[in-house]
Each structure stands twice: as C-alpha cells, then as structure tokens.
Structure 1
Amino acid sequence: MSERDIRIGDAEREHALELLGTHLGEGRLSVDEFGERSARVATAKTRGDLYGLFADLPAPRPRFARVEPPVPAPARRAWPVEFRVGSAAVTAVAIVSVVLFFLAKTPLVFLLIPAVMLLIGRMGRR
C-alpha cells in the first residue's frame, strides 16, 4: 500500500479546509473553486484524494504524519508437551482422589495429588 492510499480522518479534512481557506484569502482560488474543492475535501477518503486537490497550488499543502508499519505480535509459544501431559495427569489424579474419598471415606487419598506432582517433576528433570 502506498502512502497515497492511506485513509484520512476528520482532523485531516478540517486541516485541508483551513488550507483551502488560506488559498482563498490570498486570491489563488475563486469562491466557486473554493466551494468545489471544499465539497471534494468533505468526501475525500485517502491522502491521495487531498493531494490531488492541492496539486496546482503552492504551499501551504496538507502534511501528514509518517505512518510506521504495524509491528507483528510475537508468536504465541505453546506449552511444552511434558507440561501439558503433566497437567492432565495431575488433573486426572485429583478427580480420581475425589472419587476414592467418597468410596474409601478417608482423606488420605488426597495425598496422591502431591505424590503424582513430585513424580512428574522428577521425570521432567531427566
């Protein structure tokens, strides 16, 4: 996309109208030309549309801030497979522990959760 294809907003249109008023005040434009160009400024969509309206006029002309290309977002890194497997295992053991608690009626089954976490942690270090 070229610089001329960048879309403009209301602030740029207002600035262009002010500049056309300057040219009208200095006698470079007739009232009819000012009216025609003002109508075209109101419907301008891109910088190129405004540049075309000032092509035959000396300074002042519309100026625009330089547009920097967008910075791509950093790529999302997926969790390592080991982490995902370990998380799934701990979740499964937690569910099994709840079921065993209601079947065995002892809270000691919940010790399975930290035990599995320790085993997975040791396997991950290898």
Structure 2
Amino acid sequence: MASLTDLIPVSRSEFAAELVPCLALVSGVGMSGEDQKTWLNAAYKALDGIPIALLKRGAAAAMAKADHPSKIVPAIMAEVREPWAWRRNAKALGRHYALPAPTETDEQRAERMEVGVLMDALVKRLEAKG
C-alpha cells in the first residue's frame, strides 16, 4: 500500500535516478563530472529525508521549470513543500492514510529495474571519477 504519510527517506540511488536527468537537461557542457557529483551531494543534503513519491513529483516539476542547476532544488521544494509538511504533521498526529497499491505491468516493472541498474552504474562511475 502506498501511504500518504510515507516519510521513508529516498535512497541515494533512487535520488540519483530522479535528479541526474534534471541535471543533464540544464547543466550544459561546462559542468564537469566532479561538479555534477558535488551538485548531487549538495542537493541530497538540501532535500534530506524526502520520500521517493514526493521526489518523483518534484523532479517532474523541475524538469518542466528549471533552466539552470541552481533552480532544480527550489523547483522541487515549491512543488512538494506543502504535501511534505502535511505528511510530517499527519505522522506526528498518528494518522494513517492509505491508497490502494498501484498496479504495475511486468513491462513497467522490468523497465524500472533496468533504469535502477543503469543509475547505480552511473553513480558508481561518478564516484570513481571523484
């Protein structure tokens, strides 16, 4: 079940899978691999504790709005600030809301797994360059 009060922090590999495409769109050729790694680490700290569902929602907004790396995190926060605060408040009050589990086809699941493997490899390559 997908919980509206989910506050499980996103993993680094999930974080990279969502934000590397955003960064790739706006970074241009002037941003080295080391600069990208530094940016991803800073963004991870800035969005500390964000759950995956909210990160995905924020990243989609950033893909549509941000035209520079410095605008990605603010675009994400603008998109998720209220629902993230609502989740934290609901959790603090002990409220539990649930949505039905999403249906996922075998093809979608396989694609998600493939993207995860590719993103893990990309993160390892970026870390190896550092």
Q: Same fold (TM over 0.5)?
A: no
Which protein is bigger by CA-based radius of gyration? 1
For normalisation by structure 2, the TM-score amounts to 0.27
| TM-score when normalising by structure 1 | 0.28
Q: Which structure carries more relative contact order (alpha carbon 8 Å, separation 6+)?
A: 2
Higher helix share: 2
